[in-house]
A = this chain, B = another copy of it.
Amino acid sequence: MDDRKQKVLLAIVQDFIATAEPVGSRTIAKKYGLGVSPATIRNEMADLEELGYIEQPHTSAGRIPSVRGYRYYVDYLMKKRELSREEEELIRCEFEIKVKDVGKVIQKTGQLLSQLTCYTAMVLTQQMESSSFKYVQLVPMRTSQAMVIVVMENGAVHHRMIETPESIRSSDLETLSKVLNAKLQGLTMESIKLTLLKEIYFEMGKHKQVLDLAMEMIQDSLVLKDEDKIYLGGVFNMINQPEFQNVEKVKTMLSILEQEKLLCELLTGKSWDKGVTVRIGGEIKDHDIKDYSVVAAPYTISGRKIGSVGVLGPTRMDYAKVISVVDFMTKNLSKALERMILGRGR
């Protein structure tokens, strides 16, 4: 692939990204001064088509990039685009002001992402890997109701109401909490042994009923993983893209967006830790998404990946811009979350 071919390919990709129209030889000759005539460009285009980088929707139309063409563009031709000052500022502000509620930040991230890119944003909050038990507390609420609160090593907190016999007193609950804490500290599910249970039940036999409920709660906390949750933003934004002129396209797009499982997979591929990942159309098996690309990157808390954000758009998306936005965004999101969850700053 010689230099001029690259230039022609670059021109085709750029123009198609900008206009969504198949691009012909004349356009390239005029707009992207390569100093040669349309005829020459046509020859190059014929070669590029043979090589599989571009294709022709129909005989009398210009060329559009193929999946392979986009890939070549993203890997070799594309020049990185820095964010504008305003854009950077916008993102920074958003993360500096809003704090406190994790869900809120996630949601805002999605909105911003979609707003900046004009595509659909996805934010995935990954399931925490299962963690070990840290602490339990039984809190009396009303007569015959108490709350079990379980804290895990990784900082997750689970809670549940339970029914208690009327006979039980606050101090009993307090004692129960103490015993459970003393015995169970740091255990994972596997290590809660029968013998250990017997030991506890022996000591606390008379409150068996409450104990049962509390133990059940603890076990659930150890076993049940919070499912991945996915936040979508800016579907409406994207629909203004010219590819969505006909309703069928919109339908397949929406059907993709409702397949949460698929979206999760898109956001969590193997090449997971390289920072920003780009997946282009047909590179993904599911043929519903052959016309879409995903740009995704993980976000972290003190180095541990805990989720990822991504942008879903037509294959004709503005990769340069999206990549830099996603990159900048995940970095800021990570920082913001660290500040929030680890309690640093404010």
Contact = CB atoms under 8 A, between A and B. Distances in A.
A279 interface: no
A344 B163 contact: yes
A179 interface: no
A32 interface: no
Contact of A343 (B161, B258, B344): B161
Interface stretch (A54-62, A65-73, A248-256): A248-256
B254 A235 contact: yes
Nearest to A345: B163
Nearest to A181: B139
A255 B227 contact: no
Contacts of A84: none
A151 interface: yes
A343 B155 contact: no
B157 A157 contact: yes
A261 interface: no
Interface of A: 100-101, 103-104, 134-135, 137, 139, 141, 145, 147, 149, 151, 155, 157, 159-163, 213, 220, 224, 227, 229, 234-236, 239-240, 244-247, 250-251, 254-255, 257-258, 341-344
Given A163-B342, A235-B258, A239-B250, 13 more contacts: A141-B151, A145-B343, A147-B157, A149-B151, A157-B159, A162-B343, A163-B344, A236-B251, A236-B257, A240-B251, A244-B247, A247-B247, A247-B250
